C-alpha cells in the first residue's frame, strides 16, 4: 500500500469540515486627493518684477518685456505730474539684461513757469547677474536729458547711476534688495545745485498661482537737488504677468514715507512678454 502525505489524507477524510466564518477586514481608506502646489520656475520668477526699481533688481527677463505704463503723482503743494511711457527690456546672452524707458510727461504746478508737457527724460540701463542660488547683479543707468528744463519737466543735464541688487527666491516669496549711488548733473538756475544721491530699496513678491503676484516694495533715495529732501515710498501692487508669450497687467499704489515724496502715486501698466 502506498503512503499518502498526512496532510492530504486528513483533508480527504474530513469532507464536511467547514472553515469558521471570518469577518471582513475594513478596506483602508484611500488618501484624499490633493492638488499639487504650484512652484514657479526660476525663469518664471524673473518675469515677476518690481514697480519703482524695475532696473535695479537682480531679475533677468527671459526673452523680452514691452510695457505701456501710466503714472500719476499728486503732491502736497497741489502740483500734479503724469507720465505715459514705454518700458522695454530684453535679455542679452544668458546673464544680462538691457532696457530703456521713454515717453511723455505732463506737469501742472502752481508756478506758471513750471507748467507744461512734452518728452520725458530717457533712461537706458544694462546689468549683469552672477550665478548662484540667491543671484546678485550689478548694473548702470544713464539718464538722457530730453525733457524741457524751462518748463520744469527735467533738469537739462545727464545723470548716471551705479547699482547692485540681490534676490532670494523661496517657495512662497521672492525677497529683493538693492542699493546704489547716482550722480545728478548740475542744472542751470533757477534750479538749486545738484547732489550725489544714494538709493536703497527692498521688496517682497508673492506668487499667487501661475500668473498673479502681490508686490510690496519700499524705496528710499536721498535728495537729488539741494533742499528738495529725501524721497521714500511704500508701493503695494498686483501683477498678472508670468507666462510668455502673452499679455498681462500691472497696477500699484505708492504712499509717502517722507515729506518730499508725493501724497500718492498711481501706476497702471499693460505688458507683453515674448
Q: What is the pLDDT of residues 118-172, one digit of tens each?
A: 999 999 999 999 987 778 999 999 999 999 998 889 999 999 999 999 999 999 9
> Does the bond joining 210 to the residue before it have cis omega, within 30 degrees of 0?
no
In contact, 245 and 274? CB cutoff 8 Å: yes
The DSSP 8-state label assigned to residue 211 in this structure reads T
pLDDT grade for 244, boundaries at 50, 70 and 90: confident
Q: Which residues of 173-192 are buried (b: 16+ CB within 10 A; e: fewer)?
A: bbebbbbbebbbeebeeebe
Q: What is the pLDDT of residues 252-274, one digit of tens each?
A: 999 999 999 999 999 999 999 99
Is the pLDDT at 23 greater than 60, yes or no?
A: no
Per-residue confidence (pLDDT) for residue 38, from 0 to 100: 47
The DSSP 8-state label assigned to residue 225 in this structure reads B
6 found inside a domain = no
196 found inside a domain = yes
Per-residue confidence (pLDDT) for residue 115, from 0 to 100: 77
More confident of the two residues 96 and 42: 96
* Exposed / middle / buried, residue 28 (Cβ in 10 Å: 0-12, 13-18, 19+): exposed
Average per-residue pLDDT for the chain: 87
163 found inside a domain = yes
Q: What is the pLDDT of residues 169-203, one digit of tens each?
A: 999 999 999 999 999 999 998 889 999 999 999 99
Query: At CA 29, angle to CA 27 and CA 32, rounded to 5?
Result: 160
Neighbours of 102 (CB within 10 A): 16
19 found inside a domain = no
Q: In this structure, what CATH number is given to the domain that contains residue 104?
A: 2.40.160.40
Per-residue confidence (pLDDT) for residue 210, from 0 to 100: 86
Grid cell 467547514 is found at: 18
Is the pLDDT at 206 greater than 60, yes or no?
A: yes
Mean pLDDT of 1-17: 41
Neighbours of 134 (CB within 10 A): 11
- Evaluate the CA torsion angle 136, 137, 138, 144 in order and state its sign: negative
Which domain does 124 fall in, by range? 42-273
* Predicted TM-score of the model (pTM): 0.82
In contact, 157 and 146? CB cutoff 8 Å: no
37 found inside a domain = no
Name the strand (E) or helix (H) holding 233.
Answer: strand 231-240
79 found inside a domain = yes
Q: What is the pLDDT of residues 32-87, one digit of tens each?
A: 555 445 455 556 899 999 999 999 999 999 999 999 999 999 999 899 999 999 99
5 found inside a domain = no
17 found inside a domain = no
Q: How far apart are CA 21 and CA 209, in angstroms?
A: 54
* Number of domains the chain contains: 1
Amino acid at each position: 500500500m502506498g503512503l499518502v502525505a498526512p496532510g492530504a489524507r486528513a483533508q480527504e477524510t474530513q469532507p464536511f469540515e467547514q472553515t469558521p466564518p471570518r469577518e471582513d477586514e475594513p478596506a483602508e481608506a484611500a488618501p484624499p486627493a490633493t492638488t499639487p502646489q504650484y512652484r514657479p520656475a526660476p525663469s518664471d520668477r524673473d518675469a515677476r518684477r518690481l514697480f519703482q526699481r524695475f532696473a535695479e533688481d537682480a531679475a533677468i527677463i527671459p526673452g523680452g518685456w514691452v510695457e505701456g505704463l501710466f503714472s500719476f503723482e499728486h503732491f502736497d503743494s497741489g502740483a500734479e505730474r503724469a507720465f505715459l511711457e514705454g518700458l522695454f527690456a530684453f535679455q542679452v546672452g544668458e546673464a544680462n539684461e538691457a532696457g530703456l524707458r521713454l515717453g511723455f510727461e505732463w506737469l501742472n504746478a502752481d508756478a506758471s513757469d513750471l507748467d507744461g508737457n512734452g518728452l520725458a527724460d530717457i533712461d537706458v540701463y544694462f546689468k549683469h547677474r552672477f550665478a548662484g542660488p540667491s543671484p546678485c547683479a550689478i548694473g548702470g543707468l544713464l539718464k538722457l536729458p530730453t525733457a524741457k528744463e524751462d518748463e520744469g519737466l527735467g533738469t537739462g543735464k545727464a545723470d548716471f547711476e551705479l547699482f547692485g541688487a540681490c534676490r532670494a527666491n523661496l517657495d512662497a516669496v521672492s525677497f529683493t534688495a538693492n542699493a546704489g549711488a547716482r550722480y545728478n548733473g548740475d542744472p542751470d538756475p533757477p534750479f538749486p545745485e545738484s547732489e550725489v544721491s544714494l538709493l536703497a530699496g527692498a521688496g517682497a513678491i508673492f506668487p499667487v498661482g501661475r500668473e498673479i503676484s502681490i508686490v510690496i516694495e519700499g524705496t528710499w533715495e536721498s535728495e537729488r537737488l539741494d533742499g528738495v529732501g529725501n524721497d521714500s515710498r511704500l508701493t503695494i501692487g498686483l501683477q498678472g504677468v508670468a507666462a510668455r508669450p502673452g499679455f498681462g497687467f500691472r497696477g500699484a499704489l505708492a504712499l509717502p514715507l517722507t515729506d518730499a515724496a508725493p501724497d500718492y502715486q498711481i501706476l497702471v501698466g499693460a505688458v507683453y512678454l515674448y
